[in-house]
Amino acid sequence: MEITGLFQVLAEIIPLSENLKEALQAIIREKKYPRKSLLLEEGSINRHIYFVKEGFCRGYYYKNGKEYTTWFMGQGNMVISVYSFFTQRPSAETIEILEDCILQYISYQDLQMLYKCFPEFNVVGRILTEKYYILSEERALALRTLSAKDRYENLIKAYPEILQKATLGQIASHLGITQETLSRVRGKYLASTDGAC
């Protein structure tokens, strides 16, 4: 199987040695997942790190019987339950496929082997960890400091087609607002962009 997508992303971070390339070729797997399937269920252990070659997914959790969407990830991004993957303990989060996906993945054990056998790969891991930590921090800061309108605009900029991929309830919970507030924000946003180039 020819490995593209994840392999290319990793190779763009730092030049990979031929031995590391061969090791990656041997362990990267690829699988198709249909829309509405669950990649990870609450209470299960996240044993793989996934790369979205095609498609769109989200992470969510339940609290007091209510569902909260914590993140959306599309093509070119990594997908994991951070706590569960790195501790190898049960996840409080569920990962759902929102549109048909092609995912490439590496197991936790294989990832640890790469870190041990190829010191250069630790740089890749550090850079990727930094990237997603920054994204998480930006979202937490946005929830505390930005208006609902600004949070919505940022989401639309990041994922212009999200209204076709996720439900309004999922989007509202991700933004930390009610569906009614989301409807008002959408209306104002559409009015402000009507006729814009």
pLDDT tens-digit map of 75-131: 999 999 999 999 999 999 999 999 999 999 999 999 999 999 999 999 999 999 998
**What does residue 37 show for φ and ψ, rounded to 5 degrees?**
-80, 160
pLDDT at 1: 38
pLDDT tens-digit map of 136-179: 898 888 888 999 999 999 999 989 999 999 999 999 999 999 99
| Two structure tokens written together for 152 | 């919505």
Buried b (16+ CB within 10 A) or exposed e, 73-103: bbeebbbbbbebbeeeeebebbbbbbbebeb
Number of Cβ within a 10 Å radius of residue 46: 24
R_g (Cα) of the chain, nearest Å: 18
Which domains does the chain show, CATH number per domain?
6-119 (2.60.120.10)
pTM, full prediction: 0.88
